[in-house]
Amino acid sequence: MASLFPDIKHQHRNCIESAISRAFRLAEDNGKKFGANQVRVLEALLQDHKAVSAYDIVDRINDTGKRLQAVQVYRALDSLMELGLVHRVQSANAYIACTIEDECRNPQLLFCSSCKRVAELASESISALISKTAKQSHFKLEQGLVELVGLCPDCVDA
Ligand SMILES: [Zn+2]
Ligand SMILES: [Zn+2]
Ligand SMILES: [Zn+2]
């Protein structure tokens, strides 16, 4: 199996384009209007595959021109997370734009503690096992996202 982490030399433009077009499609399917702030926050996150803090998102946006306040960034992040287009990376206190093609609610995130890149695994069997275990334990699952912390292939070899 190939690494879930994209090759250093991959065409990142393709990642951006597919994530943006999927975002518009998903928003429409969910009857949500996709506002300019959401697009800007998503684009700021899509600059690379690293987890980005809300503070750094504000910086990235403000570097590009028309400024956004932190509160606007948080609001946009909330609505993007609601649609499964952005995930929160707890260990990094940061966010990542989703790169999975389909609807993505409870992925498994692979967070590299060295370069801060995040890869996503959306294994249905892992999600199903979590739901089943929660149910058996009478645990009302609110968020089944799993976060794995480690080193990506590039950092392991470094
Ligand atoms: Zn990419
Ligand atoms: Zn995802
Ligand atoms: Zn790494």
- pLDDT 10s digits, 115-147: 999 999 989 999 999 999 999 999 999 889 999
CA distances from 148 to 81, 113, 119 (A): 19, 10, 10
Q: Is residue 27 included in any domain, yes or no?
A: yes
pTM (2 d.p.): 0.91
**Count of structural domains within the chain:** 1
Q: Is residue 48 included in any domain, yes or no?
A: yes
Cβ < 5 A residues, ion ligand 3: 112, 114-115, 152, 155
The closest ligand to the CA of 16 turns out to be 1
Centre of ligand 2 to C-alpha 58, Å, is: 22
Does residue 100 have a pLDDT over 90? no
Centre of ligand 2 to C-alpha 84, Å, is: 6
Q: Is residue 3 included in any domain, yes or no?
A: no
Average pLDDT over residues 50-56: 96
Q: Is residue 149 included in any domain, yes or no?
A: yes
Q: Is the dihedral of CA 78, 81, 83, 86 positive or negative?
A: positive
Q: Is residue 142 included in any domain, yes or no?
A: yes
Q: What does the mean pLDDT of the chain come to?
A: 93
Q: Is residue 1 included in any domain, yes or no?
A: no
Q: Is residue 80 included in any domain, yes or no?
A: yes
CA distance 2 to 134: 31
Q: Is the dihedral of CA 24, 28, 30, 36 positive or negative?
A: positive
Which residue range is the domain that position 124 belongs to?
Answer: 12-157
Q: How many CB atoms lie within 10 A of CB 138?
A: 6
Please name the amino acid found at residue 17: E
For residue 148, the domain's CATH number is 1.10.10.10
